[in-house]
């Protein structure tokens, strides 16, 4: 049985929630492997809308096991709130359908505060963080002072860990003219939340190894997009974790040989939330129309997304950095009715043509897109479930996208409904 990794091939918000839900019905285990509650998935199941930020998408389906891997940073209070919201919608979350890696790092209230303080102080240099404490939590993880899930087991030994992390953070707070945090207060907050989190604790790498050996289908669910990767994205306007497909291995403890197929979720146009370069952005009627038709607002932040034409040069780049085997092309129906469509095939930089986005921040800001123009289509693609349902011109658009990004289209999504999907290749049958 193949194990499938789902990654966003752009800047996130590509429609991963629907595709992961579609795939999760065929999987036994759905695993989150990076990020935190700064990324959101919206699922529409039988007309009911579920908004998830931290929980794996599979938890809304009976009989599926959801796993949060060690590569995720977990705000335990936000997790409890999310579990509570799902409970109100009739979805029960317990140790039967959710496990959390014992070595996952916790996001603390001090991380959220520091995130907001830094962003407010940055002025024009702000990077568009969601202010949920993700970055500071990853900093503490790398700095080897983080509080992890397993630390909640022993409240006596937790005291020394709390004092260690506060040695660092109280020094920062003094520098920002903020009051210091009481070790007793933080310890008390963690002691209170511990009984709500510990029932889910698991040695995840061992669990997944057993599942793999038993022939279970495992779906690895990424958050955000490859272009937000801390190493391979548009730095510094990126997230604080690796979002490329390889993180599915390190973020769960499963070996890379267990990752059989990488599916890149790819929007038929391009969007971005927050700051940073965006070569094909359309600050005009086209961008407005794409945003209105696509309901382009962030699931977590509610912020309006920036919109522009499809950037094949960027997706071709992420196909390579994430080892994408095939893409799921989403929101094709949003392009219905345009007289003409444009696709970026490369860039001009200081008078020279290049075929990828450079790594340097200054160069990224200076590139100019090179476009190919396509005839649009007037017929609707909304709800199409087979190639025969698609206008001929839309198929030409898809075929040219495949050529430009150097990867095949495995699936086409034509509406938020899970069944409005054209399956070309089943990733689980690879």
- With a CB cutoff of 8 Å and minimum separation 6, the contacts of 184 are none
Closest C-alpha among 126, 119, 105 to residue 34: 105
- With a CB cutoff of 8 Å and minimum separation 6, the contacts of 310 are 267, 268, 269, 270, 280, 341, 342, 343, 344, 401
- Token pair belonging to 248: 């599915």
Separation of alpha carbons 313 and 324, rounded Å: 14
Q: Which residues are catalytic?
A: 13, 41
From first to last of its 430 residues, what are the pLDDT tens digits of the chain? Answer: 689 999 999 999 898 888 888 898 899 999 999 999 876 777 777 778 888 889 998 888 889 999 999 999 999 999 999 999 999 999 999 999 999 999 999 999 999 999 888 877 766 666 666 778 999 999 999 999 999 999 999 999 999 999 999 999 999 999 999 999 999 999 999 999 999 999 999 999 999 999 999 999 999 998 889 999 999 999 999 999 999 999 999 999 999 999 999 999 999 999 998 889 999 999 999 999 999 999 897 655 667 899 999 999 999 999 999 999 999 999 999 999 999 999 999 999 999 999 999 999 999 999 999 999 999 999 999 999 999 999 999 999 999 999 999 999 999 999 888 788 999 999 998 7
């Amino acid at each position: 049985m193949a194990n499938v990794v789902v990654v966003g091939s752009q800047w996130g918000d590509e429609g991963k929630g629907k595709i992961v839900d579609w795939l999760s019905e065929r999987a036994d285990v759905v695993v989150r492997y990076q990020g935190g509650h700064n990324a959101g998935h919206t699922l529409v199941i039988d007309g009911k809308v579920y908004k998830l930020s931290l929980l794996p998408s599979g938890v809304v389906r009976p009989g599926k096991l959801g796993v949060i891997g060690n590569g995720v940073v977990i705000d335990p209070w936000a997790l409890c709130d999310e579990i509570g919201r799902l409970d109100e919608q009739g979805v029960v979350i317990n140790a039967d359908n959710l496990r959390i890696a014992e070595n996952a790092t916790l996001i603390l209230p001090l991380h959220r505060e520091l995130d907001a303080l830094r962003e407010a102080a940055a002025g024009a240099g702000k990077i568009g963080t969601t202010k949920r404490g993700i970055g500071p939590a990853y900093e503490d993880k790398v700095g080897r002072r983080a509080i992890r899930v397993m630390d909640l087991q022993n409240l006596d030994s937790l005291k020394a860990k709390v004092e260690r992390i506060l040695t660092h953070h109280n020094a920062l707070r003094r520098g920002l003219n903020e009051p210091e945090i009481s070790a007793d207060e933080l310890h008390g907050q963690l002691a209170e939340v511990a009984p709500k989190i510990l029932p889910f604790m698991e040695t995840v790498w061992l669990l997944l190894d057993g599942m793999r050996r038993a022939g279970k289908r495992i779906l690895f669910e990424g958050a955000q997009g490859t272009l937000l990767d801390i190493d391979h994205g548009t730095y510094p306007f990126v997230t604080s974790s690796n979002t490329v497909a390889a993180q599915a291995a390190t973020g769960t403890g499963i070996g890379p040989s267990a990752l059989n197929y990488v599916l890149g979720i790819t929007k038929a146009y391009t969007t971005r939330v927050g700051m940073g370069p965006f070569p094909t952005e359309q600050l005009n009627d086209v961008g407005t129309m794409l945003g209105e038709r696509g309901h382009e607002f962030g699931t977590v932040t509610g912020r309006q997304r920036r919109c522009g034409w499809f950037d094949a040069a960027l997706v071709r780049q992420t196909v390579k950095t994430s080892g994408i085997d095939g893409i799921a092309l989403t929101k094709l129906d949003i392009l219905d009715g345009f007289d003409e469509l444009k696709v970026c095939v490369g860039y001009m930089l200081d008078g020279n043509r290049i075929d990828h986005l450079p790594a340097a921040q200054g160069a990224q800001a200076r590139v100019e897109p090179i476009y190919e123009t396509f005839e649009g289509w007037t017929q609707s693609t909304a709800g199409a479930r087979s190639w025969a349902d698609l206008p001929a011109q839309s198929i030409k658009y898809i075929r040219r996208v495949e050529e430009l990004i150097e990867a095949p289209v495995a699936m086409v999504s034509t509406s938020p409904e899970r069944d409005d999907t054209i399956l070309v290749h089943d990733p689980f049958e690879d």
